[in-house]
Chain A
Amino acid sequence: MSIFETIIQPDTFDVLIKIGIILLKIVIVVAAAMLHVMYATYFERKSIGHMQVRLGPMEVGPHGVLQPIADGVKLFFKEDIIPADADKPVFYIAPVISLVAALSSLSVIPFFKGFVIANINIGLLFILAMSSLGAYGIIISGWASNSKYSFLGGLRSSAQVISYEIAMGLSLVGVMMMAGSLNISDIVNAQAAYPLRVYAIPQMLGFFVFMVAGIAETNRAPFDLPEAESELVAGYFVEYSGIRFAMFYLSEYIGMIVISLIAVVCFLGGWSGPFDIPYVPFAWLLLKVYFFIFFYYWIRATLPRYRYDQLMSLGWKLLIPLALLNIVITGIAKLML
């Protein structure tokens, strides 16, 4: 009896409702994210296809709209192959780490006014922490596969992610200084006082550094060295197949969406826009995110790939000094004004 008494207290019901609401929010966000990932792949193949004078997927459904579903079903039912001499537990857990890290970043991002799973004071730091966790999935999958190509891919990726995380973190410092907060909702609200309701203009330098570092952080072209198919065949996930491969794929695309979301909430005013769109409070946010995702594809269709040492020197010799300069300028401006 005493255990029940201690557990069921007068406010237990309220707590349960709160937990229920949080769970519901999580379900909504994850479902929306998965749907977006599925159609981000379709959108990628279509838009790059048209840039490259071809059609993209056309077979499954009208104009291939059911292609992502077919792909998902195929990946789900494919055999999960484990290489001989692979470190099995580590091999199994690596894609899970990647996916979890990518998904948890979504929990602190406000999608519209008042809608955020966890409105915590250290939102930005949390995202940085999760992206550094994501690197583990890549490194240990490269090691556990017991393959030289994936090992090289893992090493490259770890070096790349660590270097660019510094630049990315530093580029966000300017935003933190201007908003005086690490809470992402506060950052969005603080932008309302600036021209066009965005930080992108006063934080031009930081925005630039963030975009470049963000592309590198998500291992997308032209910084897709860890998975450079012409050099390392597919890099760290060359030995993965089936659902585990799909997890890496998902986490890469969710990572892309997360970086776009951070860019939007930190530099482009989040859910606010030049005028309000009734009944769809997240319309502006989605539009901006779609623009960024298109930007990713656009770059992929245009640019060749950097070489490993060039990537490193770009990160350390250009982006980090620029980000530091941005901090100094922001600090001085804040003191003067």
Chain B
Amino acid sequence: MQLAPAAAPGPGRDAGAVPGRRWTHRLRRARDLAGVVPFAAYVIAGLVLPMAAIGIGAFKTPFTGAFTLRNVHDATHGIYLHGFATSMELSLIASIVPGILGFLIAYAIYTAKRGAVLRRVAITASGVFANFGGVPLAFLFIATLGNTGLATRWLTDIGFNPYNNGFDLYGLGGVAIVYMYFQIPLMVLVILPAFEGLRPAWREAAQNMGANGWQYWRHVGIPVLAPSVLGAILLLFGSAFSAYATAEALTSGTIPLTSIQIGSFLNGNVLAGQENVGYALGLGMVVIIAMVMFVYVVLQRRAARWLR
């Protein structure tokens, strides 16, 4: 930590009686802090101010600006409460399943023999897939797995119409499947470096002491990877929770998702003068992410204890 030396009690502070030294100490301290100014400005402009605006807007009456609890009440009842539940259900499915699949793929890449080329190809491909989203992605799936999509027609030709067997691209399950398209590669991208952080020496040491493969993973590999895996799944959760355009293009709002509901208030053409309920929904999303972060920090502390 950059700030630690400046804050630590040391000779500089004890020698405060000498004005010149106090002055240089302050200068040094200012210089140390200067390094974080761009980041702090970024965080303030990109996170603190928007959150403050959402927090204030959530308790305001439209037009008059008077304080009210009405927006928060609306946002936590009826279809909007249902929206939070559906959003969380979708985000959990679309973070845990791709988390597991991405983990296994990354493991396969990590253990592949002569895997240098494979690794490079996989990382590049993952980088491309993980950033493909929005309406184009929705259309890609509509054209392949939609009710008259290419793949659907092939399957129907060989006697299996997925739509007659419970499959529906335009429901919650369909949206979750579409999200896998960018979530799995995202998981591969963020978890592969963690695998590469596992030192071969640890495995050799474990084997020297008679551990088998399972024991190595049980007592060394998984505990070391756990914080990274949790962090990656949290990232996937946030990505699915805030995703918007793909679900909107696929479902026209027939499944209630908080991000789509916020969109209806903030940039829609139908609901006028209710942006403040949108702010209240935004506040709810912030609270949910904060709770998930809290659980993550607690779990990570437990996982990291082993490393100390």
Are A and B bound to each other? no
Residues of B at the A interface (CB closer than 8 Å) are none
Residues of A at the B interface (CB closer than 8 Å) are none
